[in-house]
């Protein structure tokens, strides 16, 4: 089945459609991970985006539902060079082709993903359409693409009601802005009882539950859109409860404390980004997925200091709040997919709760 990927700048790629036959418009982003396609597909932070995999061979080890990072796949579309004809892995339960059909996600295969990635790298992230219509009118599509802005994605991905993952140790309130399962799992594995709250839960409700610590999760979209959440985070900041935040959570806490965030040209998405822990001088390879970044120029050193920095481009990768038991990172210590090198940060969070 012929399918097309049309970019905002007029580039048209022709490939083969798979998954759903719906037509979609989305923001096109690329991910450089060589493994972990299922984790990528089920990461809620990709809501509102269509993902290009730069690794050309996808689907080799099939689908193992246990590896899903949330209950469903989130990207609007999926763009690959080649899908494996058969999956091969002892845990595989399904093919990626069938999984994407079931999840109703349109995909396009057989395109030069490297050429596409270079366009996104050079011109920055842009909108695109995946369609099977052969009779599209390019000018009309481009006009449509230029108008498109995804909104309200956190509301789409967060849980509807709070729920508890039992544990014998510290009681952690996890704010679900689109949390990957492995955040809760990492805390659970360390004995914590994790209560997962919908993103728009009031600070008062959380404080009233007297948690030992608060975990702010990752999530999709432009952080500045989350105006109400930022207001609640200001209240959480004012308490003495230890807070650890990842990705969107990190950005929101920064916004709650007078920092600015801005959209990056093409973001960081993959499993090979070096981040330097400024406290120890050590560099770790991290899993990343973000298109926005905290601008530390407005950072008041009396409020927070940089804790991690990206070795490649010098962007902020984490903040330590002065006089507070608050620590936030831009990257993903929960990995899945990607390196587990920074999982020690969950231990650091446990240390924070001990004090």
Is 64 noted as a catalytic residue in this protein?
A: no
For the CB of residue 268, give the shortest distance to other proteins in the complex, in Å.
Answer: 9
Q: What is the DSSP string of 270-323?
A: EEEEEEEETTT--EEEEEEEEEEEEEGGG--TTTEEEEEEETTT--EEEEEETT
**Which residue number, 159 or 311, has a Cβ lying nearer to other proteins?**
311
Using CB atoms within 10 Å of the CB of residue 174, give its burial: 0 to 12 exposed, 13 to 18 middle, 19+ buried: buried
Near other proteins in 211-270, by CB under 8 A = 270
Cβ(208)–Cβ(179) below 8 Å: no
For the CB of residue 164, give the shortest distance to other proteins in the complex, in Å.
Answer: 26
Please pick, from the candidates 71, 93, 104, 115, the single residue that binds other proteins as defined by CB under 8 A. Answer: 115
Say how far apart CA 128 and CA 26 lie, in whole Å: 6
Answer yes or no whether residue 36 interacts with other proteins by CB under 8 A. Answer: yes
Say how far apart CA 199 and CA 213 lie, in whole Å: 16
Say how far apart CA 138 and CA 150 lie, in whole Å: 21
Please pick, from the candidates 89, 149, 151, 231, the single residue that binds other proteins as defined by CB under 8 A. Answer: 89
For the CB of residue 82, give the shortest distance to other proteins in the complex, in Å.
Answer: 6
349 backbone φψ class: left, alpha, beta (φ>0; ψ -120 to 50): alpha
Answer yes or no whether residue 290 interacts with other proteins by CB under 8 A. Answer: no
For the CB of residue 234, give the shortest distance to other proteins in the complex, in Å.
Answer: 35
Answer yes or no whether residue 16 interacts with other proteins by CB under 8 A. Answer: no
**Which residue number, 96 or 254, has a Cβ lying nearer to other proteins?**
96
Residues touching other proteins: how many (CB under 8 A)?
Answer: 55
Is 192 noted as a catalytic residue in this protein?
A: no
Which one of 129-137, 193-201, 243-251, 339-347 is the stretch in contact with other proteins (CB under 8 A)? 339-347
CA 186 to mean position of chain CA atoms: 17
Please pick, from the candidates 57, 138, 238, 279, the single residue that binds other proteins as defined by CB under 8 A. Answer: 57
Which one of 224-232, 236-244, 281-289, 292-300 is the stretch in contact with other proteins (CB under 8 A)? 281-289
Please pick, from the candidates 6, 20, 28, 33, the single residue that binds other proteins as defined by CB under 8 A. Answer: 33
CA 109 to mean position of chain CA atoms: 23
Cis peptide before 6 (omega within 30 of 0): no
Q: Which two tokens stand for residue 48?
A: 């509102």
Beta bridge partners, 52, equal: 30, 79
Answer yes or no whether residue 327 interacts with other proteins by CB under 8 A. Answer: no
Please pick, from the candidates 7, 47, 199, 336, the single residue that binds other proteins as defined by CB under 8 A. Answer: 336
What is the β-pairing status of strands 316-321 and 304-310?
Answer: antiparallel
Helix (H), strand (E) at residue 16:
strand 12-19
Is 332 noted as a catalytic residue in this protein?
A: yes
Using CB atoms within 10 Å of the CB of residue 224, give its burial: 0 to 12 exposed, 13 to 18 middle, 19+ buried: middle
Please pick, from the candidates 42, 60, 131, 296, the single residue that binds other proteins as defined by CB under 8 A. Answer: 60
Please pick, from the candidates 22, 162, 341, 348, the single residue that binds other proteins as defined by CB under 8 A. Answer: 341
Active site residues per annotation = 247, 332, 334
Q: Can you give the binding site for other proteins, defined by CB under 8 A?
A: 30, 32-36, 38-39, 54-57, 60-61, 64, 67, 81-82, 84-91, 110, 112-115, 117-118, 121, 270-274, 276, 281-285, 311-313, 335-341
């Amino acid at each position: 089945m012929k399918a097309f990927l049309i970019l905002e700048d007029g580039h048209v790629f022709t490939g083969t459609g798979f998954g759903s036959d719906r037509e979609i418009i989305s923001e096109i982003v690329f991910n450089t991970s060589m493994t972990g396609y299922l984790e990528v597909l089920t990461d809620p932070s990709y809501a509102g985006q269509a993902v290009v995999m730069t690794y050309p061979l996808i689907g080799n080890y099939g689908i193992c539902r246990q590896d899903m990072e949330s209950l469903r796949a989130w990207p609007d579309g999926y763009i690959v060079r080649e899908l494996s004809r058969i999956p091969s892995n002892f845990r595989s339960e399904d093919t990626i082709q069938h999984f994407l059909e079931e999840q109703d996600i349109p995909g396009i295969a057989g395109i030069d993903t490297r050429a596409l990635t270079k366009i996104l790298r050079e011109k920055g992230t842009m909108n695109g359409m995946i369609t099977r219509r052969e009779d599209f009118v390019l000018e009309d599509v481009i006009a449509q693409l230029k108008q498109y802005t995804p909104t309200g994605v956190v509301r789409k991905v967060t849980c509807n009601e709070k729920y508890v993952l039992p544990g014998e140790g510290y009681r952690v309130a996890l704010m679900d802005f689109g949390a990957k399962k492995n955040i809760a799992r990492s805390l659970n594995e360390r004995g914590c009882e994790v209560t997962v709250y919908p993103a728009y839960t009031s600070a008062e409700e959380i404080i009233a539950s007297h948690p030992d610590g608060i975990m702010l999760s990752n999530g999709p979209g432009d952080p500045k859109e989350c105006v109400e959440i930022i207001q609640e985070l200001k209240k959480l900041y004012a308490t003495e409860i230890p807070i650890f935040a990842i990705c969107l959570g990190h950005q929101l806490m920064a916004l709650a404390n007078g920092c600015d965030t801005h959209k990056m040209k093409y973001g960081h998405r993959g499993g090979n980004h070096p981040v330097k822990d400024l406290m120890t001088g050590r560099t770790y390879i991290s899993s990343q997925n973000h298109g926005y970044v905290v601008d530390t120029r407005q950072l008041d050193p009396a409020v927070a200091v940089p804790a991690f920095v990206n070795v490649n481009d010098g962007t902020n990768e984490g903040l330590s709040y002065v006089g507070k038991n608050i620590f936030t990172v831009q990257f993903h210590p929960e990995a899945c997919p990607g390196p587990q090198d920074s999982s020690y940060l969950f231990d650091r969070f446990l240390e924070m709760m001990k004090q």
